[in-house]
Amino acid sequence: MQRTLEDFLRALRAVDVRVSPAEAIDAHIAVETVGYADRELFRDALCATLAKTEGEVGRFETCFDTFFARDEFHAPPPPSAGAGGEAGAPPPPPASEGGAGDAETDLARMLLEDDAAGLAQAMEAAGERAGAAQIRLSSQRRLITRRLLDEMGMRGVEQAIAAAGERGDEGLAEQLARRRQGLMEKAARYVERQHDLYAGESGRRMREQLLADEKLTAIDPHQMGTMQALVRRMAKRLAARYSHQRRRAVRGKLDVRRTLRRSMVNGGVPFDIVWKHKTIAKPKIVAICDVSGSVAAVAQFLLLFLYSLNEAVERLDAFAFSNRLVAVGDILDEEAAEAAIAAVLSRIGMRSTDYGQAFQDFTDLHLNEIDRHTTVIILGDGRTNYVNPRIDVLRTINERARAVIWLNPEPESFWTRGDSEMEKYRRFCHVAKTCNTLNQLERIIDDVMRTYLPK
């Protein structure tokens, strides 16, 4: 059972339930205390020891039910009538002239006798020898199923079926063949359960890693839900990292000089302890997003990403534009993320781009709010449709802000082609980078938070 418990802990880690070495030790102690006889008590003891959050409790319960399910042999097929076909029929003779091995003879006997408990135990042992718990890809299921059946002694059963046919005992051969088919189906279900435990989450992570490197402009509609979940997790990870730095600063250090000074009124006894505190000001972020047809797909991910960072920033103001710029913070605050982004796109998106007019609108609406604590993030391809790009406005924003970050979904080789003014704009940006995948977005925002936000 210790090996089984260790496999269960590994299955928990595979579904994102964090289990530290100390928690694993606590789990073994809890199991030693409550025992294995009472399933509910056993599960509750492990859950109280290992699951730390509401989400982990849900994943723990699902993993527990899957890991300790033993449904493969709960409903054995009824015995069929016929010569040599009764459940109590004697075991088949050796499969070959030299005789079958003990494991092979035992498997044939258990199949004929519908020994569900014996077959379940044999499958568990064979699964361990076949490495079923090491499955990582869905393509491995058939191979591991075949290995498991070989470890159980399936080849001997097949030889016994052939031998019964040669002797003319068609009833016994037919019954063994039918039970063999049932065993193969049960083995496939067993391996499927191992896949769900150990490979389902790793497969999901692999798909998400591939999706995070996919161009945002090429995401299929059916992948939008997965992409939005990825965006939220990335933003939460960065917010947690930054918040941890703030918590460390709040704890402070002992201010010896001020503590001794205050203790003088008490005869040198330090009743009043003074701590040093390093104040970290939360940053202010302004997002200006081009939502014209060419970059609308990227804009919605940036807006979602930035608004998921709300707990790490003091203030976030969002603006969107095609030909005119409007504030969209109220829309994003009042609506769910998906509905809000759709409302923004329907209101001002998919029109021809006018960067000059948009920058002028920003000057009228928000320029006075920009100060040395403000980081301005601009998302757009910098294509002005050959109208005045208003470089002077971007220069003014650069002079007032802490940093100006420009994220362009186009590769840099396109920045000098056609109506693109990126080469002019980039002179007044602290950072100007290509950003067309979620991984690029996370790296750039992480760099911005570490480098340009107030320390």
pLDDT tens readout for residues 144-156: 899 989 888 888 8
The pLDDT of residue 207 is above 60: yes
Strand ordering across the sheet containing 315-321: 325-327, 315-321, 284-290, 374-379, 403-408, 431-434
% of the chain at pLDDT higher than 70:
78
Q: How many other CB atoms are found less than 10 A from the CB of residue 90?
A: 10
The pLDDT of residue 404 is above 90: yes
Half-sphere exposure of 405 (CA within 13 A, CB side): 22
% of the chain at pLDDT higher than 90:
15
| 43 or 124, greater pLDDT | 43
Average pLDDT for 130-159: 84
Question: What does the DSSP 8-state code read for residue 414?
Answer: G
Q: What is the pLDDT of residues 336-395, one digit of tens each?
A: 666 776 777 777 766 788 899 999 999 999 999 999 888 899 988 999 889 999 999 999
Q: What is the architecture of the domain spanning 229-252+282-451?
A: 3-Layer(aba) Sandwich (3.40)
176-190, 277-291, 315-329, 371-385: which range is least confident on average?
277-291
Host H or E run for residue 433: strand 431-434
Mean pLDDT of the chain: 79
| Range among 105-119, 246-260, 298-312 with highest mean pLDDT value | 105-119
**pLDDT-based confidence at residue 88 (cuts at 50, 70, 90):** very low
Please tell me the predicted confidence (pLDDT) of residue 13.
81
The pLDDT of residue 74 is above 60: no
Average pLDDT for 146-173: 87
Please tell me the predicted confidence (pLDDT) of residue 77.
47
Token pair for residue 341? 């982004």
Signed CA dihedral, 237, 238, 242, 245: sign only: positive
Q: What is the pLDDT of residues 23-62, one digit of tens each?
A: 989 999 998 899 888 889 999 999 999 988 888 888 888 8
Q: Whole-prediction pTM value?
A: 0.56
CA 452, CA 455: separation in Å to the nearest integer?
Answer: 8
Query: Is 199 in contact with 138 (CB distance < 8 Å)?
Result: yes
The pLDDT of residue 103 is above 50: no
